[in-house]
Amino acid sequence: MLSIIAGLQQATFGGVVIDGTEVTEPGAERAVVFQSPCLLPWLSARENVRVAAAQRATPHRRRENAATADRYLEMVGVAEAAHQLPAELSLGTQQCVSLARALSVEPRFLLLDEPFSMLDSLTRFELQDTLLRVWEESGKTVVMVTHDVDEALYLADRLILMPDGPEATVRRAAGAVLPAAKPRCRADAPGISRLPAARDRLPRIPRVPVAPERARHPAAPAGRLTPHSRGTPSAASPRCRMTLP
């Protein structure tokens, strides 16, 4: 799903529409943070962010890239690591640099693909709070994929539930179960103590069985948006659109 929104993969049916224009290729208004940091190992943290910032900078602004990199590294709380190589950084710090790199292109939409799934619990909690702080400061629209229900309840304004499998479809929006309005803080937000109760109210999505031959060669049933299959929809096929604000 994130690959389709990012323009990295075409939807089999339907598509993603932003400001009346269908997404067909990657664009600077959509930045992605992956599960692993994917930093260039021969560049420092600052240089990794500068490389990304330069993709959108005009010739006049390229002189400002270093200041831009430092500003976003400071925003995510790792300014002291600016001169260090990725191999010298912890995985959590690397992921912060990856987030700063994505923000440096000044996107409208920040797409997060389970960015904290490889981290230990304490580091994950810290980066969740960092993400909330960055969201409050930048005002970006954030679309995040996670398998951690508590993480989704803590971070989200709106939950979209999907079953797993190559034929996954959007099943239900579950905004009513969110425990508290933002800003949220684990230490003092009264709604956070209701996370377990909110989790119990989430609707259960049944697992979609996939036959072995379908798993190897998944087909796209009509009207489903499946990023694992390719094809050209017929004129009679139902069309669906995902429209981003």
Distant-in-sequence, close-in-space partners of 129: CB < 8 Å, separation ≥ 6: 185, 186
Q: How confident is the model at residue 12 (pLDDT cuts 50, 70, 90)?
A: confident
Q: Does position 212 have pLDDT exceeding 60, yes or no?
A: no
H or E stretch at 50: helix 45-54
Q: How does pLDDT run across 169-178, given as a tens digit for each residue? A: 766 665 545 6
Task: Decide which of 91 and 228 is more confident.
Answer: 91
Report the chain's mean pLDDT, rounded to a whole number: 75
Q: State residue 110's pLDDT score.
A: 92
What is the mean predicted confidence (pLDDT) over 155-168? 77
Q: Does position 80 have pLDDT exceeding 80, yes or no?
A: yes
Task: Decide which of 57 and 149 is more confident.
Answer: 149
Q: Does position 97 have pLDDT exceeding 50, yes or no?
A: yes
2-33+107-244: in CATH 3.40.630:
no
What is the mean predicted confidence (pLDDT) over 166-194? 57
How crowded is residue 160: how many other Cβ atoms within 10 Å of its Cβ? 15
Domain regions of the chain by residue span: 2-33+107-244
What is the mean predicted confidence (pLDDT) over 91-101? 93
Q: State residue 228's pLDDT score.
A: 41
Instruction: Output the pTM of the full model.
Output: 0.70
